[in-house]
Amino acid sequence: MTASAIPATETSGSLPSDRSAALGRLKLRDAGFRFLTFGAASLVLILLLGVAITLFIGAWPAFQHFGLDFFISDSWSPPKERFGAAAAIYGTIVTSIIAMLIGVPVGLGIAVFLTELCPPVLRRPIGVAIELLAGIPSIIYGIWGVYYFKPFMQAYAQPFLIGTLGAIPGVGALFAGPPLGYGILTAGLVLAVMILPFVTAISRDVFETVPSVLKEAAYGVGATTFEVVGNIVLPYTRVGVVGGVMLALGRALGETMAVTFVIGNATKISTSILSQGTTISAMIANQFADADPGLFTSSLLALGFILFIITFIVLALARWMLSRLEVKAGR
């Protein structure tokens, strides 16, 4: 536009005003576009604040009515209007711990395989396949979990655990009770598979930031692959790996559909991880649409608010750690 305006001013004396008009239009357009993008960016901030504030307002009646008791009580009885979050918080944390215990080592193992061991031809296909695992929607994990994984747990895994680990005094309490198929362990295992690709993707990316001279130097003095990974790669990328693990934890804490299908949805706390339980998100998914307005709805919103705060803290820590690694890699 300006390019065509410049020759025009040379041929005609009356055009400088046209030119300034054109420039004025462009200036306006410039300012308008800038303002538009700024507004959109601000909206992202407002969105997060909006989520926090709306949930808090919705949750306030429950917090006010039950006070601290809301966090301690594990009774959840809509007819009696007695609501406590303890069972849901407990289930959320225990399923996430199980998921992390299995998903993190396996995810790291795959990342090591992809960066250090994999034949170059297979690197891309296997990497993509693992990423596809992350792309499968959680409802699919849910339906698969309930039709295939739950019967497997019920028929084989849980009787085996009850028969072996369940007989050991102390630890046995974790594996007590009948093999129902549904339960905290089943949900934790499905979660483990779901977070695995996140751990792998981020660890692989941070492993690749390790300068190859460092690895070559270690190989040069005769270190084995295992020693290079343990002594060079992991220490160098520690912050990033922890960040990736936290990110996966954030996913596990908030995962809803897959868990709802296989956890059994029982609002109670029991020591056995084979027993049925619930999580914050499963409880909301199950009950919110039918909840009576008033304390019931408010209590579910309060659960949502708690989940939001927990995941916010976990994800913020994760991002902070990952950004520290980026600063390091940028140097």
Partner 1 sequence: MANLYPGRKRRNAIWIALAWAATAFGLGWLVLILGALLLKGFGGLSIDVFTKMTAPPGVAGGLLNSIVGSVIQTLLGLVISAPLGILAGTFLAEYGRYTRFAAIVRFINDILLSAPSIVVGLFVYEFCVVPFGHFSGLAGGVALAVISTPIIVRTTEDMLGLVPNTLREAASALGMPRSLVIQRVAYRAVRAGLVTGILLAIARMTGETAPLIFTALGNSLFTADPTQPMSSLPLIIYEFARSPYPEQQKLAWTGALIVTLTVLSLSIFARVISSSRSASR
**299 CB-near residues (< 8 Å, 6+ apart):** 59, 62, 66, 70, 83, 85
User: Is residue 267 at the binding interface for partner 1, with CB under 8 A as the rule?
Assistant: no
By C-beta, is 135 or 170 nearer to partner 1?
135
- DSSP-derived 3-state class of residue 85: coil
Site stretch for partner 1 (CB under 8 A), options 81-89, 174-182, 233-241, 302-310:
302-310
Q: Among residue numbers 94 through 113, which ones bind partner 1 (CB under 8 A)?
A: 105-110, 112-113
Work out which of 85, 161, 233, 301 binds partner 1, going by CB under 8 A.
301
Using the rule CB under 8 A, is 168 a contact of partner 1? no
330 binds partner 1 (CB under 8 A): no
What is the rounded (10 degree) CA torsion for 320, 324, 327, 331? 180
DSSP alpha helix (H) spans, the chain = 2-11, 16-66, 69-72, 86-112, 120-135, 138-144, 150-152, 158-163, 184-207, 212-220, 225-228, 234-254, 257-262, 280-287, 295-330
With contacts defined by CB under 8 A, name the span among 173-181, 206-214, 234-242, 277-285 that binds partner 1: 277-285
Q: How far is the CB of 285 from partner 1 (least distance, A)?
A: 6
**8 A C-beta contact, residue 228 and residue 215:** yes
Cα 89 from Cα 307, distance rounded (Å): 8
Q: How far is the CB of 27 from partner 1 (least distance, A)?
A: 7
**173 lines the binding site for partner 1 (CB under 8 A):** no
Tell me: does residue 121 bind partner 1 (CB under 8 A): no
Which token pair is 261? Answer: 């299908």
**Exactly one of 84, 142, 179, 181 binds partner 1 (CB under 8 A); which one?**
142
Crossing angle between the packed helical segments 295-330 and 86-112, to the nearest 10 degrees: 30
For partner 1, the closer of residues 166 and 250 by Cβ is 250
Residue 180 identity? L
Please report, as residue ranges, which positions from 216 to 255 form the binding site for partner 1 (by CB under 8 A).
224-227, 229, 247, 250-251, 253-255
- Taking the complex as a whole, the smallest distance from the CB of residue 14 to partner 1 amounts, in Å, to 21
The answer to whether 327 contacts partner 1 (rule: CB under 8 A) is no
- Number of helices (H) and strands (E) in the chain: give both, helices first: 15, 2
Site for partner 1 in 35-54 (CB under 8 A): 36-45, 47-48, 50-51, 54
CA-derived radius of gyration, the chain: 27
- Residue 130 interacting with partner 1 (CB under 8 A): yes
Report, in Å, the least distance between residue 213 CB and partner 1: 22
